Every structure is written in structure tokens, then in C-alpha cells.
Structure 1
Amino acid sequence: MSSGELYDLRGLKCPLPVLKTRKKMAGLASGACLTLETTDPLAGIDIPHFCHQDGYELVMSERTESGHRFVIRKP
């Protein structure tokens, strides 16, 4: 499975990572994946909540040295 496009959201603070991810996901084709890189400590809570709320599949979530990495799939 491809992790899709990399979307660098490092350095952005809440709520910008979720707002930018929502806009980016809206433009993707069904089945497409997006990999996010974040440094906002709240992203570990906010991004999974966003996926659940908006109906996206959180394929992967992991801590990185500087924050979090997520892979999200559009249904």
C-alpha cells in the first residue's frame, strides 16, 4: 500500500493542522492516502478525532522525534 502524498504540517499549531488536512483531503480522490508530518503536541489527539468525525480512515499513527506521522485514507 502506498502512503500517498506527504503533507508537511510541521511548525503549525492547533487548529491549523486539522484545518489544512480537511481542505487537502477534500481534494483527493476516493481511496487516496495522505501522509502527514506534524510537530503540534495536540495533533496526536486532534488528527484521530478529525478522522473519526469526518469519516476518514486513520491507517497509521506514530510518534516521531519531532512530533507525529499519520497516514489517512479517503473512503
Structure 2
Amino acid sequence: MSEQISFKEELDTSGLNCPLPLLKAKQALANLSSGDVLKVIATDAGSQRDFRSFAKLSGNELLHEEVTEQNYYYWLKKR
């Protein structure tokens, strides 16, 4: 599924621990237009909880999330 999701910007937060991946994603989303998609790459397992909660509370849509052996990927659509 992830190959089919087009995104406007990619943010690599590898190596950063909570809450930095989410804070950096918030900053990146602020610079995007409504409807744009931000792809975030993270290595912190806590980012799953953070991004799910953020999407619910902010109204931005978590289109998809994916987990590999080393990374967590999120596609956030700005409202």
C-alpha cells in the first residue's frame, strides 16, 4: 500500500526519541497546505502511540503506518 501513497514531503527522524519525531512532524505539517501528505520515518517504538494520538487530537489524518525491522513509517494528511 505504501508505494501507492504519494507525499509532498518526507521527514526522516531516525535516531530521535519521543517526543522529537512528533514535534518535528508538527513543524513540517505547519509548512504544508491542506490536503498535502507528509511521510515520516522514525526509529522510536513510542512514535506509534504518539502519531496515532496526534492524528485523533489534531484532526490530521493518519493515512497509513508501516513497521519494518528497524523503522516506523507514517503518512499524515494535513487537514
Structure-2-length-normalised TM-score: 0.88
Q: How big is the shift at 1:65?
A: 2.0
Counterparts of 1:1-75 in structure 2, within 5 Å, are 1-75=5-79
Unaligned residue ranges in structure 1 (runs of 5+)? none
Q: Distance in 2 between matches of 1:22 and 1:3?
A: 16
Q: Distance in 1 between matches of 2:69 and 2:54?
A: 23
Q: Distance in 2 between matches of 1:62 and 1:16?
A: 19
Give the root-mean-square deviation of aligned CA atoms: 1.1
Q: Distance in 2 between matches of 1:4 and 1:24?
A: 11
Question: Percentage identity across aligned positions?
Answer: 36
The count of residues paired between Structure 1 and Structure 2 equals 75
